[in-house]
């Protein structure tokens, strides 16, 4: 070990009490200590914070940490104060501080006590803060949750866009560190470009979560009952159920309670006090289940969440990965169960229809990937990792049998001839069409785009009319993942031939495609109050629920909540 290595191991032990680095941490820490721009891509729970905290503690000056959420910053500051006797070791700089507090923060920074200064991007733009920070020694700027910089990320924050310019005002050659758990190549590209760190050393960890089991079930009218049955089969374990609307969150939480499951609701419509009460009840295991909108989760670190159920399908693979990522953080069991119906996709599309066109295009492109994930018959892990630009060996890879499709393989059929037809159409339409138009061309269905390209006059028009749309869509998805075609995300999903696809055209060979299958949901009369259709129940049912709750709630020891307000 070099002296440097002894130093950083000693510092790791001293400040954090850990004897070993996790994953890529050591390389990252060294790279930052060497003053280089650094880009860290690690899944949630991978240990990104330590990557900048440790070098900040070891270096002269103050490290600025840009973070999107006050709650996240506060947690980290508390944690930092725990590793050092010095209160001033870490501070948050935001608009809620009073004059005395600001004076103290500035003093601690000036005299070198403060190693980490957490700021929201809005605070960093303020002239008075820029002026002050220009006058002190900054060791580096770390941008946490850096995906907020990209519209293709799941949490776009326009203020993140100005960071490069602001940091340039703080001084020359201040190293920048971007950190994110977002794995899509497109978002990563945006981060590097927007932070201006094209020379950054990139550390990318695998996004494979081998202990998570992925399953998709068809969402039927009995979805609420299906969820209750699943939870009862997992009695006593902690779990999260995600719903799209606040109203559904409240309703489902009630239905669970009525059925003897200890559950609380959680969404952004509750006031802060209520939210933190329900959150604590879940963390402290006073209740087993939290039914929530996506407002629940960021920064939540409960290691033993055993299942994450999606009552409604999320709007991107990325969100799904993040939300399911909250299961099994301790490495133990984690069941990720999503209920899917195409109707929900149409609902999400409708939500988006009011938004600016560019945003809609992005939203739809992301949504189509969700459809593909839900409908795929291949290894879901392989699908998801492929989406993140990662190869996965579905036979020998870590966690290879941990999904429904692999455990219960769907029937495989020879699709060599169809594959050939597909590639001929992709090539014949000059690689200008998205999946939908390709399928229309194959099936001989005309539309404005096809006639404007005179595609309906070509010899390949309609060569696949013997098969239905879902067959062709499935083949496209499987062919994408197998690498014969690729989708151009900048062109919102236009399909292109790859080299491998070109070879297939020249030299066709066997291609086994898996057939999709549909689950059969059972009925269960023991379940009360579940609404039909997976939507929100009508007034009569809600009244019934309220009455039922009176007899159940006390037994469960859960707080009353009958709020039913603005559905969003
Ligand atoms: P991320 O920001 O990547 O989601 P965090 O920084 O919140 O992850 O870290 C996740 C957990 O991993 C934390 O509980 C942290 O204490 C723990 N952790 C980080 N580094 C190590 C390490 N070297 N050894 C053991 N635990 C670690
Ligand atoms: Mg983090």
In the chain the first and final C-alpha atoms are separated, in Å, by 56
Contacts for 133 with CB less than 8 Å, ≥ 6 apart:
64, 170
The DSSP 8-state label assigned to residue 89 in this structure reads: G
The DSSP 8-state label assigned to residue 487 in this structure reads: E
Answer whether 45 contacts ligand 1 (Cβ < 6 A). Answer: yes
Nearest C-alpha to atom 2 of ligand 1 is from which residue? 48
Nearest C-alpha to atom 13 of ligand 1 is from which residue? 47
**Cα separations (Å) of 447 from 324, 430, 431, 436, 437?**
39, 17, 17, 11, 9
Answer whether 180 contacts ligand 1 (Cβ < 6 A). Answer: no
Answer whether 50 contacts ligand 1 (Cβ < 6 A). Answer: yes
> 39: CA distance to ligand 2 center in Å?
14
Give the nearest ligand 1 atom to 79 CA. Answer: 16
> 388: CA distance to ligand 2 center in Å?
19
Answer whether 49 contacts ligand 1 (Cβ < 6 A). Answer: yes
Q: Which ligand is nearest to the CA of 54?
A: 1
> 44: CA distance to ligand 1 center in Å?
9
| 394/216 Cα distance (integer angstroms) | 18
Contacts for 512 with CB less than 8 Å, ≥ 6 apart:
412, 413, 414, 415
Q: Which ligand is nearest to the CA of 42?
A: 1
Contacts for 124 with CB less than 8 Å, ≥ 6 apart:
64, 66, 130, 163, 166
Q: What is the pLDDT of residue 138?
A: 97
Task: Characterize the bridge pairing of strands 485-488 and 494-497.
Answer: antiparallel
The two tokens of residue 358 are 């560019």
Local confidence pLDDT in tens for the 568 residues of the chain: 455 667 899 999 999 999 999 999 999 999 999 999 999 999 887 899 999 999 999 999 999 999 988 878 888 888 888 877 788 999 999 888 899 999 999 999 999 999 999 999 989 988 999 999 999 999 999 999 999 999 887 788 988 999 999 999 999 999 999 999 888 888 999 999 999 999 999 999 999 999 999 999 989 888 999 999 999 999 999 999 999 999 999 999 999 999 999 999 999 999 999 999 999 999 999 999 999 999 998 667 799 999 999 999 999 998 999 899 999 988 999 999 999 987 888 888 888 888 888 888 888 888 888 988 998 888 999 999 998 889 899 999 999 999 999 998 877 889 999 999 999 999 999 888 988 899 999 999 988 888 888 988 899 999 999 999 888 988 998 888 788 999 876 777 789 999 999 999 999 999 988 775 443 334 444 566 666 666 666 666 666 666 666 656 556 666 544 443 333 3
Q: What is the pLDDT of residue 565?
A: 38
pTM above 0.80, yes or no: no
Q: What is the pLDDT of residue 548?
A: 66
Nearest C-alpha to atom 23 of ligand 1 is from which residue? 21
Nearest C-alpha to atom 19 of ligand 1 is from which residue? 47
Among 50, 76, 80, which residue has the most ligand 1 atoms within 8 Å of its CB, making it the best to mutate?
50
> 47: CA distance to ligand 1 center in Å?
3
Nearest C-alpha to atom 25 of ligand 1 is from which residue? 18
Helix (H, G, I), strand (E, B) or coil at 500: helix
Answer whether 325 contacts ligand 1 (Cβ < 6 A). Answer: no
> 142: CA distance to ligand 2 center in Å?
11
Answer whether 15 contacts ligand 1 (Cβ < 6 A). Answer: no
> 471: CA distance to ligand 2 center in Å?
41
> 144: CA distance to ligand 2 center in Å?
7
Answer whether 299 contacts ligand 1 (Cβ < 6 A). Answer: no
**Spacing of C-alpha 494 from chain mean position:** 24
Answer whether 9 contacts ligand 1 (Cβ < 6 A). Answer: no
Answer whether 314 contacts ligand 1 (Cβ < 6 A). Answer: no
Instruction: Check if the beta carbon of residue 402 is closer than 8 Å to that of residue 414.
Output: no
Among 11, 49, 205, which residue has the most ligand 1 atoms within 8 Å of its CB, making it the best to mutate?
49
Q: What is the pLDDT of residue 267?
A: 95
Give the nearest ligand 1 atom to 48 CA. Answer: 3
> 465: CA distance to ligand 2 center in Å?
50
Nearest C-alpha to atom 20 of ligand 1 is from which residue? 47
Instruction: Check if the beta carbon of residue 524 is closer than 8 Å to that of residue 227.
Output: no
**Strand arrangement, sheet containing 90-93:** 90-93, 116-119, 62-66, 138-143, 176-180, 38-41, 201-204
Q: What is the pLDDT of residue 566?
A: 35
Answer whether 203 contacts ligand 1 (Cβ < 6 A). Answer: no
Q: What is the pLDDT of residue 311?
A: 97
| 42/549 Cα distance (integer angstroms) | 43
Among 11, 43, 47, 142, which residue has the most ligand 1 atoms within 8 Å of its CB, making it the best to mutate?
47
Answer whether 373 contacts ligand 1 (Cβ < 6 A). Answer: no
Instruction: Check if the beta carbon of residue 25 is closer than 8 Å to that of residue 47.
Output: yes
Answer whether 297 contacts ligand 1 (Cβ < 6 A). Answer: no
Q: What is the pLDDT of residue 216?
A: 96
Place of tokens 């009840």: 281
**Cα separations (Å) of 64 from 92, 117, 190, 192, 486?**
10, 5, 21, 18, 40
Answer whether 455 contacts ligand 1 (Cβ < 6 A). Answer: no
The DSSP 8-state label assigned to residue 341 in this structure reads: -
| 526/528 Cα distance (integer angstroms) | 6
């Amino acid at each position: 070990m070099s002296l440097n290595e002894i130093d950083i191991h000693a510092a790791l032990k001293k400040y954090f009490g850990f004897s070993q680095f996790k994953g890529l941490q050591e390389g990252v820490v060294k790279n930052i200590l060497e003053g280089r721009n650094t880009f860290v891509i690690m899944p949630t729970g991978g240990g990104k914070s330590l990557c900048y905290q440790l070098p900040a503690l070891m270096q002269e000056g103050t490290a600025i940490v840009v973070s999107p959420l006050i709650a996240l910053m506060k947690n980290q500051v508390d944690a930092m104060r725990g590793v050092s006797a010095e209160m001033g070791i870490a501070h948050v700089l935001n608009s809620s501080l009073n004059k005395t507090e600001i004076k103290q923060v500035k003093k601690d920074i000036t005299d070198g006590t403060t190693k980490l200064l957490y700021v929201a991007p809005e605070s960093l733009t303020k002239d008075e803060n820029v002026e002050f920070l220009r006058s002190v020694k900054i060791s580096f700027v770390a941008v946490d949750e850096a995906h907020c910089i990209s519209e293709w990320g799941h949490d776009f924050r326009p203020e993140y866009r100005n960071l490069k310019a602001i940091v340039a005002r703080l001084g020359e050659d201040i190293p920048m560190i971007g950190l994110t758990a977002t794995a899509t190549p497109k978002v990563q590209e945006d981060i590097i470009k927007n932070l201006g760190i094209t020379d950054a050393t990139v550390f990318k960890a695998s996004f494979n979560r081998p202990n998570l089991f992925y399953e998709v079930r068809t969402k039927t009218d009995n979805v609420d009952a299906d969820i209750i049955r699943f939870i009862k089969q997992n009695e006593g374990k902690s779990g999260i159920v995600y719903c799209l609307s606040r109203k559904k969150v409240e309703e489902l939480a009630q239905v669970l309670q009525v059925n003897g499951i200890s559950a609380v609701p959680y969404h952004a419509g509750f006031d802060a006090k209520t939210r933190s009460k329900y959150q604590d009840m879940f963390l402290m295991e006073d209740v087993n289940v939290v039914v929530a909108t996506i407002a629940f989760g960021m920064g939540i670190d409960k290691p033993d969440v055993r299942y994450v159920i999606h009552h409604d399908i999320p709007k991107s693979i990325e969100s799904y990965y993040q939300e399911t990522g909250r299961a099994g953080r301790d490495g133990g069991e984690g069941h990720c169960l999503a209920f899917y119906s195409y109707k929900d996709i149409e609902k999400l599309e409708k939500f988006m229809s009011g938004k600016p066109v560019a945003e809609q295009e992005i939203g739809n492109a992301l949504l189509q990937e969700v459809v593909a994930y839900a409908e795929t018959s291949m290894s879901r892990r392989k699908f998801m990792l492929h989406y993140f630009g990662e190869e996965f060996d579905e036979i020998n890879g870590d966690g290879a049998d941990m999904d429904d499709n692999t455990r219960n393989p769907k029937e495989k059929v020879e699709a060599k001839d169809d594959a050939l037809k597909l590639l001929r159409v992709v090539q014949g339409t000059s690689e200008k069409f998205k999946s939908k138009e390709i399928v229309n061309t194959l099936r001989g269905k005309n539309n404005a785009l096809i006639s404007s390209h005179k595609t309906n006059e070509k010899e390949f028009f309609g060569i696949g009319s013997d098969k239905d749309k879902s067959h062709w869509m499935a083949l496209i998805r499987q062919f994408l993942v197998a690498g014969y075609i690729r989708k151009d995300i900048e062109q919102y999903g236009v399909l292109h031939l790859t080299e491998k696809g070109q070879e297939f055209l020249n030299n066709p060979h066997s291609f086994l495609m898996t057939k999709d299958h549909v689950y059969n949901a059972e009925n269960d009369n023991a379940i009360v109050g579940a609404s039909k259709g997976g939507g929100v129940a009508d007034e009569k049912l809600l009244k019934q629920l309220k009455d039922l709750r009176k007899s159940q709630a006390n037994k469960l020891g859960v707080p009353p909540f009958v709020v039913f307000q603005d559905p969003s």
